[in-house]
Chains A and B, each alone.
Chain A
Amino acid sequence: MSDVRSLLLVGVGGQGVILAGTIVASACLRAGMDVKKSEVHGMAQRGGAVYSHIRYGPRVHSPLVEEGGADVLVAFEWAEGLRWLPYLRDGGVLIINTEAVVPPAACRDRRGWTPGYPEVDVARLRGRAGEVLACNARALARRLKHQKVANTILLGVLASRLDLPDAAWQEAIAATVPASTVEINLRAYQEGRRLTFPRDTAPVDGSRRPVQARPSSRDGATAFLIDVVDGWCKGCDICVRVCPEHCLRLNGRERVEVIDAAACTGCRLCEWLCPDFAIAVRGVAPVLPDTARRTE
């Protein structure tokens, strides 16, 4: 069965996983292959998981990809990619979208990010797959002024790693997507196919860790350092609301970060009112102005 290749497309509802699967299967048929496909798309409206198994080759008997059997895993969403990682075979190719879609069930604070969502950190995938191709497909699609084609960009990346003829892909896309979007989808496909990793795709957003800020200084007065334990913060917003100097804010991951360390007066309200012990305000040695230092 070594001449049969197994693909797994995974994502969440609304990302176009099923459409992408249909295009892949259609491209395989146009390349003269036998192809079988099986998909699950229940709960899609609630942000649930959607996946599509595709197997193609001269003769295919079963559409199902078994654990450790996928040659290529295309993850349209970060957490889904991590969840399906065991299905990738040793040395397989992982194509992963760094966009995060937090399912409603994980929104314990009903505001979006929670600590339960896995950190988007591409470096951690190193060694977990033969080749890791990570990009923010949504951001790339926005550059094409059409964010719905994120799935087609990922298909382009997939096409660059498969042995199907380019014409088969283009015909399949043109025959499958709505007529008014054929042109933009073909452009998105070419965009994905041309991407070089990681040159075009770094830096990946979300992997930055704002933890410590520079100490504040007030001309010889005690300076203060706001330490935030990123992993303990639950994004409850209390410190942001009580800080009289507006030193803090919630970042895109709904964790607190220091935006204006110099304004901190060391009142410690944020520390005392943090229910998660995630903030400590430390006084550090006075920062002397340069002139004072020279006279010493």
Chain B
Amino acid sequence: MPADHRTASEYRRYLRQEMMPHILCPGCGHGIVLGALLRALAGRGVDPDQVAMVAGIGCSSRLVGYVDFCTLHTTHGRAPAFATGLKLARPELAVIVLTGDGDGLAIGGNHLIHAARRNIGLLCVLFNNQVYGMTGGQLAPTTPSFQRTATTPYGNLEPAFDACRLLTAAGATFVARGMTLAPVPLQDIMAQALAHKGFAFVEVLTECPEYYGRYNRLGTGAEMLLAQGRLPEAVADRLARKTFLPVREEGAGAAAGGQVRPGLAFGILHREERPELTEALRAASGGARG
């Protein structure tokens, strides 16, 4: 929590204020995630010219249009690939990838896991709203089982990706999950991810009231946001501890027909030290580049 109340709202200087208000629907949680990220950046006192934000296609990717950094709005799913090239050319920049669950885990799944495998120094923020929001609410690889979408009107029969376990397995050296209901721990996760050397992956659960919420009758954006507090795993003290939590909690719900949300752990789930790609490249090139 910012100690000085007079400067606490200064993160808004990172916004392209003339572009506001943004196009996202009322109640959409994406803006909350962006706010936490901007506050983490403001807390580090970064120069906006030393930050590059790279995004693909989707609701979450639209956010790069509203921030006053160096920004790239790239092709669908390929934001990690563009960011990899950018980081290799300009390793001194803080390169941040904003991607959605459809963008990062479906069409761009390959790019994402290979960026994690290479351990290149990017921060990848994945906005998980469990649905394809921009194109009309179709099934995403993160849609929980039995949930309705535009393309699964009788309920989704497929299991959902657990993005954090996927990225841990792929080799990401910092993996965390946050939620929009807890903006302070989220900001703290973002700050730690920004300080991390190597590939940092932060998945954030956010709300899509307009499609996911409407198809599944989850109420308004405010109601969906508050409902996050009912996730049994989302207990505030666990978040505060930021410890690795047991990944899956198979409770009575599983026995009662399997209609249970996938168990999700929150906080910083994985952290390890491994050579970062641009540093390894520089070391390998030895005196050639100086």
Q: Name A's B-contacting residues (CB within 8 A).
A: 108-109, 111, 114-115, 222, 224, 227, 229, 231-238, 240-242, 266, 268, 271-278, 280-284
Check B184 against A272 for contact (C-beta < 8 Å): yes
Check B225 against A277 for contact (C-beta < 8 Å): no
A-B residue pairs in contact (CB < 8 Å), sample of 19: A114-B26, A231-B20, A235-B26, A236-B221, A236-B222, A238-B222, A241-B222, A268-B1, A273-B32, A274-B31, A275-B28, A275-B29, A275-B31, A277-B20, A277-B31, A278-B21, A280-B9, A281-B8, A282-B9
* Whole-angstrom CA separation of A227 from B210 in the bound complex: 27
Interface centre among A109, A273, A274 (most CB of B within 10 A): A273
Interface residue B180 (Cβ < 8 Å from any Cβ of A): yes
Identify which of A115, A274, A278, A282 contacts B5 (C-beta below 8 A).
Answer: A282
Interface residue B175 (Cβ < 8 Å from any Cβ of A): no
Q: What chain B residues lie within 8 Å of A242 (beta carbons)?
A: 222, 226
Interface residue B30 (Cβ < 8 Å from any Cβ of A): yes
User: What are the nearest 5 A-B pairs in CB distance?
Assistant: A283-B5, A275-B31, A234-B26, A272-B183, A236-B27
Identify which of B21, B225, B226 contacts A234 (C-beta below 8 A).
Answer: B21
Interface string of B34-72 (1 = CB under 8 A from A): 011001000000000000000000000000000000000
Nearest Cβ in chain A — how far from B186, in angstroms? Answer: 9
Check B25 against A109 for contact (C-beta < 8 Å): yes
* Whole-angstrom CA separation of A236 from B25 in the bound complex: 9
Q: What chain B residues lie within 8 Å of A281 (beta carbons)?
A: 5, 8-9
* Whole-angstrom CA separation of A237 from B221 in the bound complex: 8
Interface residue B264 (Cβ < 8 Å from any Cβ of A): no
Interface residue B156 (Cβ < 8 Å from any Cβ of A): no
Check B35 against A274 for contact (C-beta < 8 Å): yes
Check B9 against A276 for contact (C-beta < 8 Å): no
* Whole-angstrom CA separation of A232 from B9 in the bound complex: 16
Nearest Cβ in chain A — how far from B73, in angstroms? Answer: 20
* Whole-angstrom CA separation of A281 from B184 in the bound complex: 15
Q: What chain A residues lie within 8 Å of B220 (beta carbons)?
A: 109, 111, 236-237
Check B21 against A231 for contact (C-beta < 8 Å): yes
Interface residue B289 (Cβ < 8 Å from any Cβ of A): no
Interface residue B165 (Cβ < 8 Å from any Cβ of A): no
* Whole-angstrom CA separation of A273 from B229 in the bound complex: 14
Q: What chain A residues lie within 8 Å of B245 (beta carbons)?
A: none
Question: What interface size band does chain B fall in?
Answer: 20 to 34
Nearest Cβ in chain A — how far from B97, in angstroms? Answer: 20
Interface residue B6 (Cβ < 8 Å from any Cβ of A): yes
Identify which of B5, B6, B21, B183 contacts A276 (C-beta below 8 A).
Answer: B21
Interface residues of B in 199-225 (CB under 8 A from A): 210, 220-222, 225
Q: What chain A residues lie within 8 Å of B6 (beta carbons)?
A: 282-284
> Which chain A residue has the least Cβ–Cβ distance from B186?
A272
* Whole-angstrom CA separation of A275 from B34 in the bound complex: 8
* Whole-angstrom CA separation of A234 from B8 in the bound complex: 23
Interface residue B241 (Cβ < 8 Å from any Cβ of A): no
* Whole-angstrom CA separation of A78 from B30 in the bound complex: 33
* Whole-angstrom CA separation of A237 from B209 in the bound complex: 12
Nearest Cβ in chain A — how far from B95, in angstroms? Answer: 23
Q: A109-B26, A276-B21 are in contact. Are A237 and B31 (CB under 8 A)?
A: no
Q: What chain B residues lie within 8 Å of A114 (beta carbons)?
A: 26
* Whole-angstrom CA separation of A276 from B26 in the bound complex: 8
> Which chain A residue has the least Cβ–Cβ distance from B27?
A236
* Whole-angstrom CA separation of A111 from B9 in the bound complex: 30
Check B31 against A276 for contact (C-beta < 8 Å): yes
Q: A232-B21, A238-B225, A275-B31 are in contact. Are A283 and B26 (CB under 8 A)?
A: no
Interface centre among B5, B181, B210 (most CB of A within 10 A): B5
Q: What chain B residues lie within 8 Å of A278 (beta carbons)?
A: 21
Check A272 against B222 for contact (C-beta < 8 Å): no
Q: What chain A residues lie within 8 Å of B22 (beta carbons)?
A: 276
* Whole-angstrom CA separation of A272 from B185 in the bound complex: 11
Nearest Cβ in chain A — how far from B234, in angstroms? Answer: 15
Check A237 against B222 for contact (C-beta < 8 Å): yes
> Which chain A residue has the least Cβ–Cβ distance from B220?
A237
* Whole-angstrom CA separation of A237 from B24 in the bound complex: 15
Check A271 against B9 for contact (C-beta < 8 Å): yes
Nearest Cβ in chain B — how far from A283, in angstroms? Answer: 3
> Which chain A residue has the least Cβ–Cβ distance from B6?
A283
